[in-house]
Amino acid sequence: MSRRTDHPFARFIAILGRGRTKQRHLTFKEAREAMSMILRRETEPEQTGAFLMLLRLKEESADEIAGFAQAVRDVIADRLPAAAPKPEFDIPSYAGKRRQLPWYLLSALALAATGRRIFMHGAEGHTEGRLYIGEVLAALGYPVPDNWAAAFDLLEKVNFAYLPLSAWQPRLEELMRLKPILGLRSPVNTFPRLVNPLGAPVMINGIFHRGFLETHMGAAQRLGQKRFAVFRGEGGEPERRVGKTCEVARLADDHEYRDFWPAMLEEPRVPAEAELDPRILSEVWSGTRSHAYGEATVVGTLAVWLHAAGDAREPEEAERMARDVWCRRPAHLPTAA
């Protein structure tokens, strides 16, 4: 009788699923290899689903997230031209907004208008009832590229580009859309935020669950990120919740910091917008509409980013700088014309 040989990927599932006393986290090397196999489509669908759900059950470690992100970086490194433009800020946007508009988009565009390059990447439409950056940009008449060349062109012209995950890593987009089938989110909703595909020196992460601050910090360190900030953002996006104290975990040149930004508004709850109409963003930008919550959020979010980049030593100074950037914005939203 012939003996069937185990699939090469089976060992990774075994590591995660041996039971309470024998299971363990994957090492960075194992996580990198496992995700590389998934990206190369060398796994069976049953294996991929089991792997993602076992990780979800025990929760990912910093080394696992870093290993997964590195596997994606390995793939990207083979596809990008050597002369690809380098942004200063990497701003992932993967959660989508439910209660408020994505005010952090105005933070990014205001900063880009000062000449600093920002690359944003994210996923679209994976959770019903949420508004995603690609939709907002399209509604505002801003181009959403579908390839690296078009994104590079935007970075050169207006210092800002958003590239959907489907355009630069469609395999991850497929895996993210397994949620209705698996019934749960998976690590694929987490680790793309740490990929930083263009190697920006400053990376900003917004998360939904405060407990993941340490995990994201550890992963960023393992990936060699010199300047990094992660905080519990509104809706899980890189947007400061200005009605509450905002705890920011930060890396700056191999040192760890913990900053506590005071509330900017008296009302602690995030007000639900009556309608998530992207045109409101354009009106607030041009000054034809007043929006106390939105403008405070734009400034407060931008202050955290500038502080993370090393522009200011103290939060108070960063907020003054952020207000100045917002006040000096152009009369109209930048376009690629």
Q: What is the pLDDT of residues 89-138, one digit of tens each?
A: 999 999 999 989 999 999 999 999 999 999 999 998 777 878 999 999 99
pLDDT one-digit tens code per residue, 255-280: 999 999 999 998 878 888 878 999 99
Residue 326 pLDDT > 70: yes
Q: Tell me what the mean pLDDT of segment 316-325 comes to.
A: 98
Provide the edge-to-edge strand list for the sheet that holds 255-261: 160-164, 118-122, 89-93, 202-207, 227-232, 246-252, 255-261
**Dist. CA 13–CA 51, nearest whole Å:** 6
Amino acid at site 277: D
Pick the more confident residue, 183 or 243: 243
Q: Tell me what the mean pLDDT of segment 286-307 comes to.
A: 96
Residue 3 CB burial class (10 angstroms; 0-12, 13-18, ≥19): exposed
pLDDT above 90 as % of the chain: 77
Q: Same CATH fold, 89-327 and 10-77?
A: no
Q: At 270, list the tokens.
A: 């995030």
- SS3 state at 120: strand
User: What does the pLDDT read at residue 77?
Assistant: 85
pLDDT one-digit tens code per residue, 76-85: 988 888 778 8
Query: Mean pLDDT, the chain, as a whole number?
Result: 92
Residue 196 pLDDT > 80: yes
Pick the more confident residue, 21 or 309: 309
**Dist. CA 51–CA 56, nearest whole Å:** 9
E strand residue ranges, 174-262 = 202-207, 227-232, 246-252, 255-261
Provide the pLDDT confidence category of residue 3 given band limits of 50, 70 and 90. Answer: low
pLDDT one-digit tens code per residue, 4-40: 678 999 999 999 988 777 788 999 999 999 999 999 9
Phi and psi based region of residue 176 (left: phi greater than 0; alpha: psi -120 to 50; beta: remaining): alpha
Residue 2 pLDDT > 60: no
Q: Tell me what the mean pLDDT of segment 246-251 comes to.
A: 96
Q: Tell me what the mean pLDDT of segment 152-172 comes to.
A: 95
Pick the more confident residue, 288 or 183: 288
**Dist. CA 238–CA 232, nearest whole Å:** 8
Residue 52 pLDDT > 50: yes
Question: For the chain, what are the domain ranges?
Answer: 10-77, 89-327
Provide the pLDDT confidence category of residue 283 given band limits of 50, 70 and 90. Answer: very high
User: What does the pLDDT read at residue 129?
Assistant: 79
CATH fold for the domain made of 89-327: Pyrimidine Nucleoside Phosphorylase; Chain A, domain 2 (3.40.1030)
Q: At 254, list the tokens.
A: 């191999």
CB 68 within 8 A of CB 243: no
Residue 225 pLDDT > 60: yes
CATH fold for the domain made of 10-77: 1.20.970
Residue 298 pLDDT > 60: yes
How many beta carbons lie within 10 A of that of residue 21, not counting itself?
Answer: 5
Start-to-end CA span in the chain (Å): 70
User: What does the pLDDT read at residue 267?
Assistant: 83
Q: At 188, list the tokens.
A: 């694929």
**Dist. CA 222–CA 117, nearest whole Å:** 25
Residue 337 pLDDT > 60: no
User: What does the pLDDT read at residue 1?
Assistant: 45
